[in-house]
Amino acid sequence: MKLSPRDAAGYFARPDKDRTGLLIYGADAMRIALKRQEVVAALVGPQGEEEMRLTRLSAGDVRKDPALLSDAIKAVGFFPGPRVVLVEDTNETHIKAILPALEDWRDGDAQVVITAGQLKPTSKLRKFFEDHKNAYAAAIYDNPPTRAEIEAELARAGLTNLGQEALRDLSTLALAIDPGDFRQTLEKLALYKHGDPSAVTPEDVAACAPATTEADIDEMLDIVADAKTGDIGPLMLRLKAQGVQPVSLCIGMMRHFRTLYAVAAHPGGAGEGIGRVRPPIFGPRRDKVLRQAQSWGAERLQQALTLVTETDLSLRSAGQTAPTMAQVERALIRLAMMARR
């Protein structure tokens, strides 16, 4: 039987322990791994692996020796409770070794959980599970997490005391990073707030969110947008020492001022525009970008984008002879001066 995406979330949390099996397939290996981990834990419980009620097999090993799967399904454990046989990394080449063992399944046998990559509608493995009366097939898509999935992750991490702004930022973060990174961020946040009864704040979220590799460039862009001309030189020396290339700074300028322009020029106003930016902006940086966009205004931001475009073209010009980093530094200073008008 097919599990719809809406029904799958509930089933993974509370699976039926009397089913023949479950097929989880999709293009994103991380999403598949997280769902597999969730459903197996729900089936065998926290002590299942220690009590040897979970058997892990690779599809490659099953293809070499099909009896491995049959024996694991029929085996009788020493400990009471549901048993699960997990078969990972399955594809069409493993079907002949897997299907006979599934067809021989009887009540009391271990439930079989199979993970696979993307499967075509014509896949024999997929059709077997979709047509089976006592088994499920669940496709995992690369869609952003739903509100229910985000709340489930928060509950799993033990994060219940959240302010509205922190919840908004975590929801935004869930759309911007991989599910595995999001789960790790929540675990880190739970440890960060351990023993602290106060509500989670946007600052707490920002402190635990994955760090960007462009933090120093972003710092420079904030200095420019805030018209802090005197801070440009010292930070430029640091960026040079780190080996930051002029073109990287130019790309960063273009990205930042395009974002500011998109916020400032939104028909519904900057407050609505900040929520439409992609990739999304969260935490204290959200307020900073909103303030910068409102301070500059759409007209001056258009002028800033013209200056950045001219600098970019100059850097790419075959006939230019001036030092490229000096050109970028000059553009940064001109932008900072423009912000003071």
Residues 169, 220: one domain?
no
Choose the weakest-confidence range: 200-214, 262-276, 289-303.
200-214
Could you tell me which residues come within 8 angstroms of residue 270 by beta carbon, excluding any fewer than 6 positions away?
263, 264, 290, 293, 294
The highest-confidence range among 141-145, 176-180, 218-222, 264-268, by mean pLDDT, is: 264-268
pLDDT at 56: 93
Share of the chain above pLDDT 70, in %: 96
Residues 261, 323: one domain?
yes
Query: Any idea what the CATH number is for the domain that residue 245 is in?
Result: 1.20.272.10
CA 197-202-206 angle, to 5 degrees, is: 110
pLDDT at 111: 94
Nearest of 159, 118, 203, 153 to residue 12 by alpha carbon: 153
Distance, CA of 232 to CA of 332 (rounded, Å): 8
Q: What is the mean pLDDT of residues 115-124?
A: 90
Q: What is the mean pLDDT of residues 245-274?
A: 88
Is the peptide bond prior to 280 cis by the omega test (within 30 degrees of 0)? no
Strand partners of residue 3: 138
Cα 154 to Cα 64, 160, 188, 211: the distances in Å are 42, 7, 12, 20
Model confidence over 285-302: pLDDT tens digits? 788 889 999 989 999 999
- Domain endpoint, select from 106, 140, 174: 140
Residues 8, 104: one domain?
yes
Residue 229: pLDDT over 90: no
Q: Hey, what amino acid is at 6?
A: R
Confidence of residue 163 (pLDDT cuts 50, 70, 90): confident
Query: Tokens 């959240």 belong to which residue?
Result: 162
Residue 213: pLDDT over 50: no
- DSSP annotation of 212 reads P
Q: What is the pTM of this model?
A: 0.58
Check if the beta carbon of residue 266 is closer than 8 Å to that of residue 310.
Answer: no
Residue 61: pLDDT over 50: yes
Which residue did the predictor score with more confidence, 83 or 194?
Answer: 83
Q: What is the mean pLDDT of residues 272-286?
A: 80
Residue 341: pLDDT over 70: no
Q: What is the mean pLDDT of residues 29-33?
A: 87
Choose the weakest-confidence range: 11-20, 116-125, 172-181, 267-276.
172-181
Q: What is the mean pLDDT of residues 163-176?
A: 78
Query: Any idea what the CATH number is for the domain that residue 100 is in?
Result: 3.40.50.300
Residues 194, 118: one domain?
no
CB neighbours (10 Å) of residue 55? 20
- Domain endpoint, select from 91, 124, 140: 140
Nearest of 97, 31, 38 to residue 65 by alpha carbon: 97
Q: What is the mean pLDDT of residues 33-42?
A: 90
Residues 59, 180: one domain?
no
Residue 214: pLDDT over 60: no
Could you tell me which residues come within 8 angstroms of residue 297 by beta carbon, excluding any fewer than 6 positions away?
264
pLDDT at 135: 93
Structural domain boundaries enclosing 19: 2-140
Check if the beta carbon of residue 160 is closer than 8 Å to that of residue 186.
Answer: no
- Domain endpoint, select from 140, 157, 189: 140
Residue 70: pLDDT over 60: yes
Q: What is the mean pLDDT of residues 67-82?
A: 88
Cα 128 to Cα 103, 184, 187, 317: the distances in Å are 10, 35, 37, 60
Confidence of residue 136 (pLDDT cuts 50, 70, 90): very high
pLDDT at 20: 93
Q: What is the mean pLDDT of residues 262-268?
A: 90
Choose the weakest-confidence range: 74-78, 132-136, 150-154.
150-154
Residues 135, 152: one domain?
no
Choose the weakest-confidence range: 23-37, 55-69, 312-326, 327-341.
312-326
Check if the beta carbon of residue 132 is closer than 8 Å to that of residue 99.
Answer: no
For the chain, the domain total comes to: 3
Q: Average pLDDT of the chain? A: 86
Residues 199, 250: one domain?
no
Assign 3-class secondary structure to 300-319: HHHHHHHHHHHHHHHHHCCC
Distance, CA of 128 to CA of 130 (rounded, Å): 6
Strand partners of residue 111: 84
Residues 188, 135: one domain?
no
> Hey, what's the torsion of the CAs at 242, 246, 247, 248, to 10 degrees?
30
Distance, CA of 14 to CA of 8 (rounded, Å): 10
What is the Cβ-side half-sphere exposure of residue 142, based on CA atoms within 13 angstroms? 9
Cα–chain-centroid distance for residue 286?
A: 19
Share of the chain above pLDDT 90, in %: 29
